[in-house]
Structure 1
């Protein structure tokens, strides 16, 4: 199937037209409206700094149902010991910069370019993007960020500088989202890290249906999630 070239019109081709590896379209821009339309349509941006903007909708899709979260005995002990403190939306900028820096240090590419970071900062300012911070004392040692729409959370990236820090951040977020009635966490692509926590792959058609069931419909101007309308930092 062809890869679609986006123009100034705010529209995406149907996700079902993506190439077998998931690539759907190229071009466009990273405006809040374009990003929100993408996420609500089951599409996300992912590209290297030297590439044009690439838009993906893989089939199958990696997801986690909060009720199916798996916590190993070792990780449960770490959580009980309070080795790390976890906060929400306290320092979004530091988290997204940490995700980019760790990937660069590991030689995993620089897809979190300055333009991408700025784009998600704008979504955070608008109340759609959220961060989870994991601390050891006064040091930020891990975290993650993602986008909340309807009763769904779209995970974007995580990092750690201490063993289990990102897992503690993730488990804490999943438990909080479960309390708020969120039924679907989009993990995009599978990793061993996510699989160990209970993530699984489902057909893209099922994923899109799950989005609609979670109150997410394609829109460049969605309402902020009613379940996460407060900053996560407002929770006790």
Structure 2
């Protein structure tokens, strides 16, 4: 099924003008959330924002129908054109792996919590489900979850987990494109655990030869972690650079090492 879908949409992805798309809001609508489509989108600098309900699809149509008709926002082959929005903000918040940082208060906290540890790829689906639990906007739909889990099985999607003893207290996940990691979401059950997961991701990704972690949506919380607005053209160039990255380290490590 996924191979047929890719054959149907592959040309559309390749011809999509992401660089010339709107700086804010969707660049395109349509397509599907199968693993091949997801991978093609991330390689083009896009991430999905599905509408979880019929009401949300109607809102998308009301807001963007004129832009679609004018060709400002593109459409991809699919059964429901306003059910999946594909976004590529310009500028994009990106953390260069060598410039990631933690607030002083969190560094102090990590030094005094010796039972916090981190892992990678230990429980990917569990992290994704935790990231969508209790969210008002259920953009992590079942279809998206299934597609991401297949990407994880294929080695393209990864998670980082933060543990307090044997309890999972924080995590983040996303998709790796060569030397760029696009982090989709995070969750925290203890103060600072989500930020610790992102910081750990940057450290592990640096060890794997990665250059940058894209955190997709800007805000004060990601600026505190070292994210900087990056022009879309520069971000897209990072995606097409040579892929010399190595496998992501997955071993269990003490979280306090991040406070050094």
What interval of TM-score do these two structures reach, taking the shorter chain for normalisation? 0.7 to 0.9
1:131 paired with 2:163, answer no
1:141 paired with 2:169, answer yes
Return the alpha-carbon distance in structure 1 between the equivalents of residues 125 and 110 of structure 2.
25
Q: Number of residues paired by the alignment? A: 215
- Paired residue for 1:117? 145
Deviation at 1:180, TM superposition (A): 2.2
1:161 paired with 2:189, answer yes
Counterparts in 2 of 1:62-211, with a 5 A limit?
62-81=93-112, 82-102=114-134, 104=135, 107=136, 109-211=137-239
* TM-score of the aligned structures, taking structure 1 as reference length: 0.84
Return the alpha-carbon distance in structure 2 between the equivalents of residues 89 and 118 of structure 1.
16
Deviations 1:106-157 (A, max 9, x none): x3x1101111111111111111111111111222111000111211111111
Deviation at 1:89, TM superposition (A): 0.8
Query: Quick check: 1:148–1:154 contact (8 Å CA) kept in 2?
Result: yes
1:233 paired with 2:250, answer yes
CA pair 131-85 structure 1, distance change in 2 beyond 3 A: same
Return the alpha-carbon distance in structure 1 between the equivalents of residues 89 and 108 of structure 2.
35
- Structure 2 unaligned segments of length 5 or more: list them: 1-6, 58-82, 254-260
- Structure 1 unaligned segments of length 5 or more: list them: 1-6, 216-224
- Paired residue for 1:9? 9
Return the alpha-carbon distance in structure 1 between the equivalents of residues 48 and 23 of structure 2.
16
- Paired residue for 1:219? none
Q: What is the alpha-carbon root mean square deviation over aligned residues?
A: 1.9
* TM-score of the aligned structures, taking structure 2 as reference length: 0.77
Deviations 1:199-222 (A, max 9, x none): 01111111112222353xxxxxxx
- Paired residue for 2:240? 212
Larger Rg: 2
